[in-house]
A and B are shown apart, each in its own frame.
Chain A
Amino acid sequence: MDKKLQENMPIYMQIMNRVRGAVASGELAPGERVASVREMAADFEVNPNTMQRALNELEREGLLVSERTAGRFVTMDRKLIAQLKREAAEDAADAFRREMLALGFSEEEMIEFFCRRCESVEFMEERIG
């Protein structure tokens, strides 16, 4: 999980996004125990109350589940995780489409460009090793 945050927008929301991303990508596995508020606050270098708020909100969304004494865990609800991942992918795709439209690409052109770009990126990565 990327621990770098910006100070120019609500910090708890940024933390929520990082945790959502980690769950969507599988970096945090379903049912995995998450670190304590104190540990995570130290990790992200934020106030423990800010961290508490972020984790509480994620609990309200159902992404994290609190077990009274054992701590906090990632949900086992794979449907919810799949939905989260789809929403994140939709956002990424929408942003791409928006920016390409702004550059004057038609949808057909942007798909073609995207495919060609992927090939050349792969090619470059292979060459650089």
Chain B
Amino acid sequence: MAMTGERKLKLVENPPVVEIRDVTKDFGAVRALDHVNLEIPEGRIIGLLGPNGSGKTTLLKILAGFYAEYEGEVLIDGHKPGAFTKARVAYLPDKDGLPENMMVNDIINIYRTFFDDFDEEKCRRLLEIFDVRPTAMPKEMSKGVIDKLQISLLMSRNARLYLLDEPIGGVDVEARQHVLDLILENFNPQGTMIIVTHLVRDIERLFDSVIVLKKGKVECFEDSDVLRGKYGGTLEEAMCEIFRG
């Protein structure tokens, strides 16, 4: 039957962007990640959710190549996090990782030098939309403006994997919608985006699926609409149920 043929074709997916096999990460006596297994396909926008201390940021940092020591295996496009993967991973840390005393113009120059996939024109366009002056310095900026600068820099990279840790924490409620629209409009379907947030309610429409971590373990990796159907409510309500259970 023609139907079956068509169905089969759709099932053929590209290899996953991220493969995590049995990863455990300890900080002294504290186990941050506990035998984590995940396969993350391309073209997704995924919420990485969980209570404080559940291992979200640790997982992100391993993917970003910040921690080299852990048990198990992590592969990004088949490579261990390192020099090769850093060129294709765009990471937005939760605490400002930008030089305080440098003008936006100069930061853009650094990005252009360091990342082959950086689209300067796009970055300048985004900064204009957000009203971030090219001559301003991070030390003069509010938390919200720094968020906007970081998101503009990140979205201007043509990366395979985008990692965002609390991207809208400092952005006021009115500007949040703006940031979300910008992420949706500029999302690169050949890439995958993993977003850590505790503001689920404000951005839940962004996620096609969510990974829930609880005490360093993967509690679930599920389609957002499946969770809404299963728990009969918003993602945020589903999260509350999952954390309670």
Contact = CB atoms under 8 A, between A and B. Distances in A.
Interface in B34-70: 43-45
Given A13-B225, A42-B184, A42-B185, A50 B235 contact: no
B187 A50 contact: no
Main DSSP-derived SS at the B contact region: helix
B229 interface: yes
Contact of B225 (A12, A42, A45, A48): A12
Contacts of B185: 42
Contact of B189 (A11, A48, A53): A48
B26 interface: no
Interface band, chain B: 20 to 34
Interface band, chain A: 10 to 19
B224 A50 contact: yes
A9 interface: yes
A41 B43 CA distance: 14
A7 B184 contact: no
Contacts of B77: none
Contacts of A28: none
B189, B201, B205 — which one has the most chain A CB atoms within 10 A of its CB?
Answer: B205
A48 B205 CA distance: 10
A112 B45 CA distance: 53
Contact of A50 (B177, B225, B232, B233): B225
Interface string A23-65: 0000000000000000001100111111001000000000000
List 10 tightest A-B contacts by C-beta distance, closest first: A10-B225, A49-B208, A7-B234, A47-B208, A8-B234, A8-B233, A10-B229, A10-B228, A46-B205, A12-B225
Interface of B: 43-45, 177, 180-181, 184-185, 187, 189, 201, 204-208, 224-226, 228-229, 232-237
10 contacts: A7-B204, A7-B235, A8-B228, A10-B226, A11-B205, A47-B208, A49-B43, A49-B44, A50-B208, A50-B224
